[in-house]
Homo-oligomer: A and B are copies of this chain.
Amino acid sequence: MAANFEEVAKQFVQFYYETFDSDRTQLGNLYREQSMLTFESSSVLGAGNIVEKLVSLPFQKVKHEIATLDAQPGMGDGSVIILVTGALKVDEEERPMNYTQTFQLAATPDKQYFVYNDIFKLIY
A contacts, CB < 8 Å to B: 36, 38, 41, 43, 68, 70-76, 79, 81, 83, 85, 98, 100-102, 104, 106, 116-117, 119, 121, 123
Measured CB to CB, the closest approach of chain B to A32, in angstroms, equals 12
CA distance A75 to B70 in the complex (A): 19
- Judge whether A116 and B36 touch: CB under 8 Å: no
Is there an interface contact between A38 and B123, defined as CB atoms closer than 8 Å? no
Contacts of A117 in B (CB 8 A): 72, 74-75, 81
Instruction: Compute how far the CA of A87 lies from the CA of B111 in the bound complex, rounded to whole angstroms.
Output: 38
Picked from B43, B75, B98, B121, the residue with its CB within 8 Å of the CB of A75 is: B75
Q: In the complex the two chains form, is A72's CB within 8 Å of B38's CB? A: yes
